[in-house]
């Protein structure tokens, strides 16, 4: 019984060590990717040390993936694109956050108009809407940040200006301009906000209609651009070393370089043509 107990104890210790290591690894990984979560959830730009940690993590992941799939050379090439991939991912997440923030602008404008119609001042309306919680995140989160800044004594102009800078060009720029203009010139701000909310919703509807109308064309263009890459992958799978054999001919390398340049140009043109202008 003592021997069995000792053997079970050894397994228990090993399991405990594995659990502790896993917890430490998971916490470290969570800390490393936390800037990405904040970029998508709060729209915050990572600091320089955070960007360096994300770049190292992305380079290591791409190096391992490329090494396992195609060898050390491919892994090194992919790892070189780690910092660029991090920058692109952070920008994409912040862009989605700004899009979600812009989508909540009409609701926030109507809530502020209702608060102003209830005899609140602009500062009081901002605090009331933030405390009510009727505006969904991220727009509600930004209004709560403005309300906290106002409660600490920050001037209204500075709090609204910071909100406009974080939200970027778009609906919030219009709303902040309307609120600041009313403070200087007076007028019916509640009616102006309701009219602005209607205009913003109409613009969003038109943008959705435009994206729907061009969805098939955009998908077809991207599919045509992806076909050569898929053909190259299938050829390599069917005959390993086929692409390496082609690379031995200078003429083939030159033609492949021209093809890649044309494909990238086509992708850029498709993205530019499909962009919805305001």
What residue ranges do the domains of the chain occupy?
Answer: 2-95, 102-204, 211-273
pLDDT at 73 over 80: no
pLDDT at 121 over 80: yes
pLDDT band for position 123 (cuts 50, 70, 90) = confident
pTM score of the predicted model: 0.70
* Residues ≥6 apart with Cβ < 8 Å to 150: 123, 126, 127, 156, 159
Query: What are the helix (H) ranges across the chain?
Result: 2-41, 48-70, 72-80, 82-103, 105-117, 122-132, 139-151, 156-167, 171-185, 189-238, 242-246, 250-273
Hey, which of 216-225, 254-263, 269-278 has the most confident mean pLDDT? 254-263
pLDDT at 278 over 70: no
pLDDT digit string, tens, across residues 151-171: 888 888 888 888 888 888 888
Q: Note the pLDDT of residue 24.
A: 52
Query: Based on the number of CB atoms within 10 Å of its own CB, is 227 exposed (0-12), middle (13-18) or buried (19 or more)?
Result: exposed
Cα gap 9→162, rounded to integer Å: 59
């Amino acid at each position: 019984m003592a021997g069995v107990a000792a053997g079970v104890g050894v397994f228990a210790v090993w399991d405990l060590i594995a659990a502790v290591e896993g917890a430490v690894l998971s916490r470290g990984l969570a800390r490393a990717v936390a800037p990405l979560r904040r970029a998508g959830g709060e729209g915050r730009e990572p600091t320089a040390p955070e960007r360096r940690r994300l770049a190292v993590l992305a380079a290591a992941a791409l190096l391992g993936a490329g090494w396992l799939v195609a060898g050390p050379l491919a892994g090194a090439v992919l790892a070189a694109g780690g910092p660029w991939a991090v920058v692109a991912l952070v920008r994409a997440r912040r862009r989605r956050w700004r899009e979600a923030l812009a989508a909540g602008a009409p609701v926030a404008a109507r809530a502020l108009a209702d608060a102003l119609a209830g005899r609140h001042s602009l500062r009081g309306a901002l605090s009331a809407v933030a405390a009510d919680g009727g505006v969904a995140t991220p727009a509600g989160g930004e209004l709560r940040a403005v309300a906290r800044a106002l409660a600490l004594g920050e001037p209204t102009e500075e709090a609204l200006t910071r909100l406009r800078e974080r939200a970027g060009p778009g609906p919030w720029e219009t709303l902040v301009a309307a609120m600041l203009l009313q403070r200087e010139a007076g007028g019916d701000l509640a009616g102006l906000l309701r009219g602005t909310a209607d205009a913003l919703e109409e613009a969003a509807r038109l943008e959705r209609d435009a994206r729907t109308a061009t969805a098939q064309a955009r998908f077809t263009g991207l599919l045509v651009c992806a076909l050569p890459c898929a053909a190259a992958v299938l050829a390599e799978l069917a005959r390993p070393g086929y692409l390496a054999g082609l690379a031995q001919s200078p003429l083939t390398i030159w033609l492949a370089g021209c093809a890649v340049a044309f494909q990238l140009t086509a992708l850029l043109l498709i993205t530019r043509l499909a962009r919805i202008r305001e």
